[in-house]
Structure 1
């Protein structure tokens, strides 16, 4: 999906959210956005396309918390990439740049919580006296000099988000405010040593190999293609090809 190719349709839902529908020849993506409080939004992201762009305003510094419910989302990390899978949570610090979301399976459903650090409350003790949580400090502590922190499919994260996908329409916005506070409180107690992101990353060459192999398979659907044939075509070992493909798409060749 090229940056200028998609058609945008904006509408308002009865539960107070704003719906943005993006459509082009490769598919569609829909964002259902709830403005929870100054500088904090919660978005249900439903994509049936390979990529989507967002454009932070100039000078914005954003904290984004992603939870994947279905599909896969590709995120760049240092000189490589990692993939958000069902049940995973990631925190990203986005500094003054456009954001490209890539979906290798052309399918993704999840929730994104966005915090604009310039205008969002610095601390949430003003809402609840005993909740002394500062979002920026939480993100900086977990990311620890990196652009992302990831938690792979933990039961306490899954329980919290499972409730966020089933909210009564008559109390949606208020309920989300409470759940965001709960999430930030939980994350403030997470040990940064849980971060094992380096073990989940793929190099640019591995990602390129997997995508090239997938394009070749798609272009030759009527042929009997074996893994051995692919490894010879791309001049790599079968093991290297299999690992790269599974890492990007989550399935075997």
Structure 2
């Protein structure tokens, strides 16, 4: 499986590469940041993001028909979207955005951020998941697109009921992350 074919994190220096992930040092003007990218299915990647800085300027995305699901584990981010919407994402929040609604700069008011970004290329992700897991919705990509019927981003504030969705993804042993992430994505 090709590593980091969707997300924009490969603009930094490659620190480590194995058969199931690649780790990059992010280009930051002030501070440090790393991201480990795990391809889980064709068109779907999970990235573990760890930034110690007050500002991050992400590179442009490779495909505009892509959705990103962000979960903030620690810290806080503030960003102004291309459509003018200002987003504040804090600990436990989930932020979904269509990458057509790009942001050029992310402010980190606490000076740090740790989270997960799940990137899904709607053109190449598996359309029919029934072959992977019986009982899944007919078309997961269409289900995702419903979040963006009236806007190009969607926010779910931190709730106790959704904590379990992401909590294990941070603590999974490195050797098991590829398989674990595939199960979580399904």
TM-score by length of 1: 0.62
Tell me if the contact between 1:54 and 1:98 (Cα under 8 Å) persists in the aligned partners: no
Q: Which runs of 4+ in 1 moved over 6 A?
A: none
Q: How does 1:22-171 map to 2 (within 5 A)?
A: 22-49=26-53, 50-57=55-62, 60-77=64-81, 78-95=83-100, 100-132=105-137, 134-171=139-176
Tell me if the contact between 1:29 and 1:48 (Cα under 8 Å) persists in the aligned partners: yes
TM-score by length of 2: 0.83
How far the C-alpha of 1:148 sits from its partner, in A, is: 1.0
The CA distance in 2 between the partners of 1:162 and 1:97, in whole Å, is 27
Cα distance change on mapping 1:54 and 1:80 into 2, 3 Å: same
The CA distance in 2 between the partners of 1:15 and 1:166, in whole Å, is 20
The CA distance in 2 between the partners of 1:109 and 1:52, in whole Å, is 16
Which residue number corresponds to residue 23 of structure 2? 19
The CA distance in 2 between the partners of 1:24 and 1:99, in whole Å, is 13
Cα distance change on mapping 1:162 and 1:124 into 2, 3 Å: same
Q: Would you tell me which structure has more strand in proportion to its own residues?
A: 2
Q: Name stretches of at least 5 consecutive residues in structure 2 with no aligned partner.
A: 1-10
The CA distance in 1 between the partners of 2:28 and 2:20, in whole Å, is 26
Provide Cα deviations, 1:21-65, integer angstroms capped at 9, x if missing partner.
Answer: 0244411221100011111000001111211312212x5311000
3-state DSSP of counterpart to 1:54: coil
The CA distance in 2 between the partners of 1:156 and 1:106, in whole Å, is 28
How far the C-alpha of 1:141 sits from its partner, in A, is: 1.6
CA RMSD of superposed structures (Å)? 2.2
Tell me if the contact between 1:61 and 1:96 (Cα under 8 Å) persists in the aligned partners: no
Cα distance change on mapping 1:121 and 1:86 into 2, 3 Å: same
How far the C-alpha of 1:149 sits from its partner, in A, is: 1.1
How far the C-alpha of 1:97 sits from its partner, in A, is: 5.4
How far the C-alpha of 1:13 sits from its partner, in A, is: 4.7
The CA distance in 1 between the partners of 2:50 and 2:119, in whole Å, is 16
Provide Cα deviations, 1:169-210, integer angstroms capped at 9, x if missing partner.
Answer: 2321011011011xxxxxxxxxxxxxxxxxxxxxxxxxxxxx
Provide Cα deviations, 1:114-150, integer angstroms capped at 9, x if missing partner.
Answer: 0011111113112112112533322322233201111
Of structures 1 and 2, the one with the larger relative CO (CA 8 A, separation 6+) is 2
How far the C-alpha of 1:165 sits from its partner, in A, is: 0.8
How far the C-alpha of 1:15 sits from its partner, in A, is: 7.2
Cα distance change on mapping 1:133 and 1:155 into 2, 3 Å: farther
The CA distance in 1 between the partners of 2:128 and 2:37, in whole Å, is 23
Give the structure with higher Rg (CA). Answer: 1
3-state DSSP of counterpart to 1:129: coil
